[in-house]
Structure 1
């Protein structure tokens, strides 16, 4: 796993690069202090697998970097590492196309799990991030720009949806939320009915498309 690291505070940048280099299978190729430097490096280093980036940086921050990666280097994954745990900041990152969102308070093991999860083609959000989103209600989606609609999704259904997106099984979701597997399946069916999808894959795609996670 070949990684570029972006962080504008030099001490944190060096510490993060050192930490990442201790993870099995990880090679830290280079360190940068803003998103523009990352893009320049990618022009000459096309075999990069993943970028670990802070959100707030001078010249070009993590959100803009994410948008640029999706447009210019869609094969490169990006994990945002930040102190920002506000729902709006998280949803902005998801809308931009971030593959992961990890808080800087995370332990090494969580960061390692995040990188491995992302490289398998899945999304990863810190548990604290999911909790913040779970408390953010009143989500609105628009399937037709001229006909906005609000779908009533309960906080518990959002909990289930986000764990489904993290690829937890029904039993695992039940254990995490302290409910029965039957209740999890009921929530899953209700979500499918409300969102108009036929499969779990469709449920997750719909949720990501309309910024519900």
Structure 2
């Protein structure tokens, strides 16, 4: 049976979460706290849980300050945050200081148990109501980036220049191979750097590979 310390300043919520956890016969609430300082004090007395479930906004010591303290004294104990506030500021703050998981209090029992098990396995977990919009934003940015690349006007000659640069040819060697002047090659190279916003040829090549312009 996994041992849990539960930190929540609202007693009704704390009692409800405790009853839910212990109804499974898989978890036991080892200690209940109304603020982060009580959690630290319990650990100092030798109460070592498998996981800590904590609110953020609590008097005396909030969840973020508690995690910062735990990083120094008990860094191996995972902390799962359960917050009433469903916003990304709290998510980023808590994950940044070291929380391993983040749930809103609107999650159902199944997701709560799933999150606990993920953390006990050494993994991270963010509730679906927050992580899905984040994934959507990443996909949207990626699609937008790809669209910009696809819409970028590369001439057939510029593609040839990119391919030859990737083969390690010098400007003179490219000029000889394409039957054009060295100055023309330099002009194409600079045009590619300007179009892609690259600082130098190395960055240009990385851009070309990442975006599938050359293989």
Return the index of the structure with the highest Cα Rg: 2
Following TM superposition, by how much is the alpha carbon of 1:129 offset from its aligned partner in structure 2, in angstroms? 1.6
Match of 2:132 in 1: 131
Where in structure 2 are the equivalents of 1:184-199 lying within 5 Å?
none
Structure 2: state its 5+ residue gaps: 144-205, 208-215
Q: Which runs of 5+ in 1 are unaligned?
A: 138-152, 159-192, 195-213
Report what 2:50 is aligned to: 49
**3-state SS of 1:11 partner:** helix
Q: Give the equivalent residue in structure 1 for 2:159.
A: none
Q: Aligned with 1:47: secondary structure?
A: coil
Displacement after TM superposition at 1:131 (Å)? 3.2
- Normalized per residue, the structure richer in helix is 2
Closer/same/farther in 2, CA of residues 30 and 90 from structure 1, 3 Å limit: same
Equivalent residue pairs, number: 144
Distance 1:5 1:128 in 2: 23
Q: Distance in 1 between matches of 2:134 and 2:65?
A: 22
- Runs of 4+ in structure 1 deviating by more than 2 angstroms, as ranges, are 131-135, 153-158
CA distance in 1, matches of 2:134, 2:93: 12
The residue that corresponds to 2:37 in the other structure is: 36
Is the 8 Å Cα contact of residues 52 and 78 (structure 1) preserved in structure 2? yes
Change (3 A) 1:24 1:117: farther
Cα distance in 2 between the residues matched to 1:71 and 1:155: 39
Instruction: State how 1:1-213 maps to structure 2 within 5 Å.
Output: 1-134=2-135, 155=140
Quote the Cα distance in structure 2 between the aligned partners of 1:100 and 1:24.
22
Q: Deviations over 1:125-156 (max 9, x none)?
A: 00112134347x7xxxxxxxxxxxxxxx6546
CA distance in structure 1 between the aligned counterparts of 2:25 and 2:103, rounded to whole angstroms: 19
1:51 match: secondary structure: strand
Q: Distance in 1 between matches of 2:10 and 2:45?
A: 24
The CA deviation at 1:99 is 0.7
Cα distance between partner residues in 2 of 1:75 and 1:120: 12
After superposition, the Cα gap between the structure-2 partners of 1:91 and 1:106, relative to the gap in structure 1 and judged at 3 Å, is same
Q: Give the Cα–Cα distance (whole angstroms) in 1 for the partners of residues 62 and 92 of structure 2.
A: 16
